[in-house]
Amino acid sequence: MMWVSGSGKTTLLTELLQTHSQLILVPSYTTRPMRKNEKNGRKYWHISPEEFQKFIDNWEFLEYALVHQKYYYGTKISEIQKAFGKWLTPITELDMHGLEKIKKDNKWIDYVSIFLDLSDDVMLDRIKMRWGIDQEEIDRRLASAQHERKLAKNYCDYVLDTDNTLLQNIQNINKLVKKILDE
């Protein structure tokens, strides 16, 4: 699953995991500092840039990318294998560059990609409601969103508009994921 900032990714992922028991969230590895409400291993494994580089050097990532020109994020192959070992369908959060890497380097993987999008106006409104995001960060995220939208048109199986109400977005994502899981 890919997204632009403010698309409601966290809320929608939480809803998906509660509704579809066969899904499991695969935690990403990141060099981003841990936020005060986060716990290591739940959604992210927060590691040092040196540790991240070691995993790259050892070919342990399915994909990885520099996000918002700031921090690295990646999905370890072993985390995907753990999900399959539990007979669950892994769901991952990816940057568009991560999806590009999977499509280019991992032809053996069977996956479906969903991109959560929204208009710039709604994106700005949602981002400004967050604490601690300065104008420089807003500008960086807007620029990233423009680039990611272009890539999503070429790489993603589905693009879901999240300009709607929360309830409509939840209904739309659940309907889409049910269709995918039933195929």
pLDDT of residue 52: 98
Distances (CA, A) of 117 to 13, 100, 129, 159: 14, 17, 18, 7
* pLDDT given for residue 131 in this prediction: 63
Residues of the chain with pLDDT under 50: none
Domain count, the chain: 1
pLDDT score at 89 = 94
The pLDDT of residue 107? 66
Residue 46 confidence (pLDDT): 97
Question: How much is the pLDDT for 87?
Answer: 95
Residues 6+ apart with CB under 8 A from 101: 63, 64, 65
Domain around 27: 2-182
Q: What is the pLDDT of residue 14?
A: 92
Find the CATH number of the domain harbouring 37.
3.40.50.300
The DSSP code for 40 is: B
* Count of residues in the chain: 183
pTM: 0.85
Residue 101: per-residue pLDDT = 84
Residue 70: what pLDDT? Answer: 86
Quote the pLDDT of residue 95: 78
